[in-house]
């Protein structure tokens, strides 16, 4: 049954791919986004280009409001216009390195914005929420693969991860205090890839903070080489190892989470990892992308980046068991789809 879904941050990378899957599943979608991490509409009242293309991909329409979650009254106005069933909360500043440099901006935006959203939802009686969390809440992993029983908030290495941990705790406390709340915490690992159409993909403002969009911009000629932050980690090739997940698999995780939240026996706040369970090093990703684009990707080894850890890999058994969800797209497809997007859109949405 189609639901009315409000998606915060829905014009961004993960957001736009998630909206595609929601529309395909016959949900009604309202997007709010301040477009800090997304290309803005070319005309004042138009849709951001990513959402225009979402409509083209799906043949369906959505509703968009440009606003910041820091603007509480604007949020109230949106909730007063629609009978929302469930909120997918994706809106956040999200770069690990930048969060180390600008902690106040991250705490103000990510935590205050979330508090505003939760307060307004409480006031209007919308108490179903899917939260975009992160594997960074596990800090330096005490064991691998990290499952949902792994301690969180211990040894978190950057302010971005701290904001996700604090928001999780707020939501858990809220669900204990008010039994009407139903919250799914989706702990993302590393989203990469693009929609197979090549119409939407990752288009970071400024210098990319994440590895794969940086590699793809090197491949298209926008940047000279990839900086590899450290090759002296205790990993097989010395470079950082991450669990990369195709963004379409991640988007589908939100769609199944909606079904989970509306099961009669679901209550409280429950966390699920969304990853592949496979570790891929920085150099392995560079090599895989070289294969996908048919050219060598130049790179330079530089010093470690503040806030990074050596290896993070997920156990996703719980999501497979309880959400009937499993990532199916592998490394080659991640790179091929990213390259298709970059090749067709050498300057992103510009």
Catalytic residues: 160
What's the rounded Cα separation, in Å, for the pair 122 and 173? 14
Distances, alpha carbon 102 to alpha carbons 26, 97, 158, 159, in Å: 39, 9, 10, 9
The position carrying tokens 């969009």 is 213
Distances (CA, A) of 301 to 128, 228, 311: 45, 5, 18
Distance CA 243, CA 309 (A): 13
Torsion-angle region of residue 44: left (phi > 0), alpha (psi -120 to 50) or beta? alpha
Q: How far apart are CA 315 and CA 329, in angstroms?
A: 16
Measured between alpha carbons, how far is 238 from 300 in angstroms, rounded to an integer? Answer: 14
**On the CB side of 193, how many CA atoms lie within 13 Å of its CA?**
24
- Who contacts 45 (Cβ-Cβ below 8 Å, separation ≥6)? none
Rg of the chain, C-alpha, whole Å: 19
Task: Tell me the residue length of the chain.
Answer: 350
Q: Give CA separation, 226 vs 94, 189, 223, 302, in Å.
A: 20, 21, 8, 10
- Could you tell me the two tokens for 334? 């991640």
Distance CA 221, CA 82 (A): 45
Tell me the sheet residues that pair with 300: 227
């Amino acid at each position: 049954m189609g639901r009315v879904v409000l998606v915060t941050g829905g014009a961004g990378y993960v957001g736009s791919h998630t909206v595609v899957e929601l529309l395909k599943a016959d949900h009604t979608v309202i997007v709010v986004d301040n477009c800090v991490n997304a290309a803005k509409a070319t005309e004042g009242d138009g849709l951001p280009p990513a959402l225009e293309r979402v409509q083209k991909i799906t043949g369906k329409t959505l509703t968009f409001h440009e606003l910041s979650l820091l603007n509480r009254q604007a949020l109230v106005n949106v909730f007063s216009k629609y009978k929302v069933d469930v909120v997918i909360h994706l809106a956040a500043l999200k770069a690990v390195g930048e969060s180390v440099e600008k902690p106040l901006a991250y705490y103000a935006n990510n935590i205050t914005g979330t508090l505003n959203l939760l307060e307004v939802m409480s006031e209007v009686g919308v108490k179903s929420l899917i939260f975009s969390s992160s594997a960074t809440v596990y800090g330096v992993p005490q064991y691998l693969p990290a499952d949902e029983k792994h301690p969180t908030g211990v040894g978190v290495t950057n302010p971005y991860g701290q904001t996700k941990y604090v928001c999780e705790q707020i939501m858990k406390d809220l669900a204990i205090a008010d039994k009407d709340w139903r919250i799914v915490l989706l702990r993302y690992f590393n989203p990469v890839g693009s929609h197979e159409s090549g119409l939407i993909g990752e288009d970071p403002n400024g210098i990319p903070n994440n590895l794969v969009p940086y590699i793809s911009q090197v491949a298209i000629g926008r940047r000279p080489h990839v900086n590899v932050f450290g090759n002296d980690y205790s990993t097989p090739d010395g470079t950082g190892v991450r669990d990369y997940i195709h963004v379409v698999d991640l988007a589908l995780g939100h769609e199944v989470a909606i079904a989970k939240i509306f099961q009669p026996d679901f209550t409280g706040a429950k966390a699920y990892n969304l990853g592949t369970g496979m570790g891929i090093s920085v150099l392995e990703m560079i090599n895989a992308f070289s294969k996908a684009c048919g050219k060598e990707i130049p790179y330079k080894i530089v010093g470690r980046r503040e806030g990074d850890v050596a290896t993070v890999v997920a156990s996703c058994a719980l999501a497979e068991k309880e959400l009937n969800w499993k990532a199916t797209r592998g490394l080659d497809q991640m790179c091929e789809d990213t390259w298709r997007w970059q090749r067709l859109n050498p300057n992103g949405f510009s």
